[in-house]
């Protein structure tokens, strides 16, 4: 187990290092010189160009530049926004809370309703199961931004129950503001989790040891809890983890749809304004989070299923 953990952590470090290198090099793949990319095509006074050159070590060899940049990043120095003249790290710190709250809210919805709907479908065949199948087919195909538009139309504009835009002021008000965004963010992944849960529970319920338990007259609830859910928990945890990690990318779309002031919408507007340092910084944070969550899922998977040969993930 320790060897497995050490290997996973090593892979994690390697992936982080290489992906940071990819994000760093993006600046130099761009057509034209790096200064033009960094300035987003704006005309800069000579003094600023000198500052940028020194800051990004543009006069040094490529790998040296990367190394200097990386040590800067590890010390929390993500560069300076070309439009706001503020440290990128500060700009990120101001917005990361909203994004975290939104993703956490959506994750809770996914776990509660995704697994709930999957269980319902698996254990109550017939009409209810049919409903779950149709519901998940539709919501799996419902893009987050279309869900956003539908939710705003129904619950914000027509019914007036929830706000259609902007962050809340903290506490319950923030929860109230984030409800529609969280549902939009969760709805597609929720369907996926429900589908996997349904399939896993049905598969386990059909196994011989469960049939034996039924024939021994053990009450249904107990069978589900002891024999079905325990085994089904493995694929369910994996898919829940993977879909929650994938929210990190979709978050940008949902934040834009609801004009929330979080990392995702800021990433999008910075890409539109060609504020390269900000794009680089936020990408770095998001990719790192994504990779770390995926590693945690991998480790959880191995912990949950001792039969799994450590080091390989099925499927």
Q: Which residues bind another protein (CB under 8 A)?
A: 11, 15, 18-19, 22-23, 26-27, 29-31, 37, 137-138, 140-146, 149-150, 152-153, 157-158, 164-165, 246, 248-250, 252-253, 256-257, 267-268, 270-272, 274, 276, 279, 283, 286-287, 290-291, 294
Nearest residue (CB) to another protein, 228 versus 267: 267
Nearest residue (CB) to another protein, 136 versus 210: 136
Nearest residue (CB) to another protein, 120 versus 268: 268
Nearest residue (CB) to another protein, 233 versus 257: 257
What is the radius of gyration, based on Cα positions, of the chain? 24
Nearest residue (CB) to another protein, 87 versus 294: 294
Nearest residue (CB) to another protein, 49 versus 288: 288
Residue 80 bridge partners (DSSP): 87
Nearest residue (CB) to another protein, 145 versus 176: 145
**Three state DSSP letters for the chain:** CHHHHHHHHHHHHHHHHHHHHHHHHHHHHCCCCHHHHHHCCCCCCHHHHHHHHHHCCCCCCHHHHHHHHHHHHHCCCCCECCCCCCEHHHHHHHHHHHHHHHHHHHHHHHHHHHHHHHHHHHHCCCHHHHHHHHHHHHHHCCCHHHHHHHHHHHHHHHCCCCCCCCCCCCHHHHHHHHHHHHHHHHHHHHHHHHHHHHHHHHHHHCCHHHHHHHHCCCCHHHHHHHHHHHHHHHHHHHHHHHHHHHHHHHHHHHHHHCCCCCHHHHHHHHHHCCCHHHHHHHHHHHHHHHHHHHHHHHHHHHHHCCCCCCCCCCC
Q: How far is the CB of 134 from another protein (least distance, A)?
A: 10
Q: How far is the CB of 255 from another protein (least distance, A)?
A: 9
Q: How far is the CB of 78 from another protein (least distance, A)?
A: 15
Whether the CA torsion 13, 15, 16, 22 is positive or negative: it is positive
Nearest residue (CB) to another protein, 160 versus 217: 160
CA 196 → CA 42, 90, 166, 201, distances in Å? 50, 40, 34, 8
Q: How far is the CB of 223 from another protein (least distance, A)?
A: 28
Q: How far is the CB of 253 from another protein (least distance, A)?
A: 5
Q: How far is the CB of 291 from another protein (least distance, A)?
A: 5
């Amino acid at each position: 187990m320790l060897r497995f953990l050490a290997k996973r952590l090593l892979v994690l470090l390697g992936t982080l290092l290489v992906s940071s290198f990819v994000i760093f090099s993006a600046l130099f793949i761009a057509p034209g010189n790096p200064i033009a990319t960094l300035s987003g095509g704006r005309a800069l006074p000579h003094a600023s160009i000198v500052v940028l050159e020194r800051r990004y070590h543009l006069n040094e060899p490529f790998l040296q530049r990367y190394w200097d940049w990386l040590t800067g990043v590890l010390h929390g120095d993500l560069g300076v926004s070309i439009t706001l003249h503020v440290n990128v790290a500060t700009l990120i710190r101001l917005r990361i809370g909203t994004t975290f709250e939104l993703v956490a809210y959506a994750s809770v919805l996914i776990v509660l309703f995704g697994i709930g709907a999957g269980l319902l479908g698996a254990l109550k065949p017939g009409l209810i199961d049919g409903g779950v199948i149709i519901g998940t087919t539709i919501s799996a195909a419902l893009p987050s931004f279309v869900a956003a538009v539908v939710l705003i139309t129904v619950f914000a504009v027509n019914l007036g129950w929830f706000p259609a835009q902007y962050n809340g002021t903290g506490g319950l008000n923030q929860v109230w503001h984030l409800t529609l965004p969280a549902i939009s963010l969760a709805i597609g992944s929720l369907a996926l989790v429900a589908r996997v849960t349904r399939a896993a529970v049905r598969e386990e319920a059909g196994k011989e040891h469960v049939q034996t338990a039924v024939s021994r007259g053990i009450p249904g609830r107990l069978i589900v809890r002891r024999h079905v859910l325990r085994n089904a928990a493995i694929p369910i945890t994996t898919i829940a983890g993977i879909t929650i990690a994938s929210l990190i990318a979709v978050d940008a779309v949902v934040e834009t749809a609801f004009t929330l002031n979080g990392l995702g919408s800021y990433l999008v507007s910075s890409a539109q304004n060609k504020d390269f340092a900000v794009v680089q910084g936020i990408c770095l944070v998001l990719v790192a989070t994504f990779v770390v969550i995926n590693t945690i899922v991998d480790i959880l998977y191995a912990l949950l299923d001792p039969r799994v040969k450590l080091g390989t993930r099925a499927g």
